[in-house]
Amino acid sequence: MPHVKKLTPNLVVSNVERSVAFYCDTLGFTLTQKVPDQSPLVFATVQSGDVEIFLNAPEPAIAEYPAFKSKPIGGTLTLFMEVEGIAPLHEALAGRVTVVMPLERKWYGVTEFAIVDPDGYVITFAER
User: pLDDT (tens digit, 9 = 90+) per residue, 78-113?
Assistant: 899 999 999 999 999 999 999 999 999 999 899 999
Burial readout 93-117 (b: 16 or more C-beta within 10 A, e: otherwise): beeebeeeeebeeeeeeebbbbbeb
Q: What is the pLDDT of residue 4?
A: 75
Name the residue among 3, 13, 9 with its Cα closest to residue 81. 9
- With beta carbons less than 8 A apart as the criterion, state whether 54 and 45 touch: yes
Predicted TM-score of the model (pTM): 0.89
Binned at pLDDT 50, 70 and 90, residue 2 comes out as: low
Structure confidence by residue, pLDDT tens digits, 17-65: 999 999 999 999 999 999 999 999 999 999 999 999 999 999 999 999 8
